[in-house]
Amino acid sequence: MFGLGFPELLMIFVVALLVFGPKKLPELARSLGNFVGQFRHAAENIKNDITFHANLDDEKKAIDDKYRELEKESENVEKNNEDIN
């Protein structure tokens, strides 16, 4: 976790305890936990949106390729019909 070991986390806790006091610290921890949860949720939503749009672009490209292929086949059929008539 960010290269922090137990001694570093303990030092952060002691400093936070001294700065905010024992009554305010649980509320601060709860707020921090809520923020981290909301941040993770937002990051997951962004990741899902990017993945969705990337897949959508791939599907659009596949449809465009198939459309071009069908146009070529249609032109070949029309050309063959003209040759027969």
Is residue 57 one of the residues assigned to a domain? yes
User: Does some domain include residue 69?
Assistant: yes
pTM, to two decimals: 0.55
Tally of residues, the chain: 85
The total of structural domains in the chain comes to: 1
Band of residue 2 on the pLDDT scale cut at 50, 70, 90: low
47 falls within a domain: yes
| Residue 1 belongs to some domain of the structure | no
What lies within 8 Å, CB to CB, of 20 at 6+ separation is 28
Domain that holds residue 22: 6-84
Q: Of residues 5 and 45, which shows the higher confidence score?
A: 45
Give pLDDT, residue 81: 80
Compute φ and ψ for 24, nearest 5 degrees.
-85, -20
pLDDT in tens, 22-79: 889 889 889 999 999 999 999 999 999 999 999 998 899 999 999 999 999 998 888 8
pLDDT of the residue at 85? 67
CA distance 41 to 52: 16
